[in-house]
Amino acid sequence: MVQQALIINAIVLAAVLEADLGSHRKVTKIRVLRPLILAAAIVPLYLKGLATTGTGLTLELALATGGIVLGLAATSLMTVYRSPTTDKPVTRAGLGYAVLWIVVISGRSAFSYGSAHWFGPQLATWMAHHSVSSNAITDALIFMAVGMLVTRTIGIIVRARHLVPRPVPEIVQNPE
């Protein structure tokens, strides 16, 4: 299970960075939706069942909120502007954007790996003490990832739609 989570995290990271990293990246439907489509294909395989009460629900809500905040941070590290040649929306994302995504996904991966290999007994004790199921932890990590992806997508779309069109240059005619 841990190996699958690591592979999925790597695929999501590669999809996001491939879609967004660099300059003059066209804002197309497939470009902004590709990571979401990928997540939609993967999430049903791992979503176990929502916690509806207690610490499990709190954990799910907290990580979903964290994902939204991280998505806003990622979006703020991306510039959305009009292409000088086509006047259509394009984006530019650089090192800061890539580092944020790499750190977040590496952190999730480290937690998944660590829960099985480094701190499993301590985590199990914490889960028992706080009545949190392993399903709630898995779901919370999924909500975090999806929250970040959805916020990134909405951020790109909203910012692209609110770009002011470049003014059309006036043609000055010579009155002869």
pLDDT tens profile 110-150? 999 999 999 999 999 999 999 999 999 989 998 999 999 99
**3-class DSSP state for residue 52?**
coil
DSSP state at residue 171 = P
Domain ranges in the chain are 2-161
Residue 28 has, within 13 A of its CA and on its CB side, a CA count of: 7
pTM value? 0.89
Let me know: does 101 contact 13? Beta carbons within 8 Å: yes
Q: Which of 162, 150, 156 is nearest to 92 (CA)?
A: 156
What's residue 38's pLDDT?
81
Enumerate long-range contacts of 166-172, CB under 8 Å, 24 or more apart.
166/82, 166/87
What is the bridge-based pairing of β-strands 78-82 and 22-26? unpaired
Q: What share of the chain is helix, strand, coil (3-state, %, to 5)?
A: 70, 10, 20
What's residue 82's pLDDT?
95
CA–CA separation, 134 vs 138, rounded Å? Answer: 6
Residue 55: which region, alpha, beta or left (left: phi > 0; alpha: psi -120 to 50)? Answer: alpha
Render pLDDT for 9-57 as a digit per residue (tens, 0 to 9).
888 899 899 999 999 999 999 988 888 888 788 788 888 788 888 899 9
Q: Could you tell me where the DSSP H helices lie in 2-119? A: 2-20, 29-46, 54-76, 95-117
CA–CA separation, 140 vs 51, rounded Å? Answer: 9
DSSP state at residue 88 = S
What's residue 174's pLDDT?
67
Q: Is the pLDDT of residue 167 over 80?
A: no
> Which token pair is 162?
């609110």
> Which token pair is 4?
């699958």
What's residue 45's pLDDT?
81
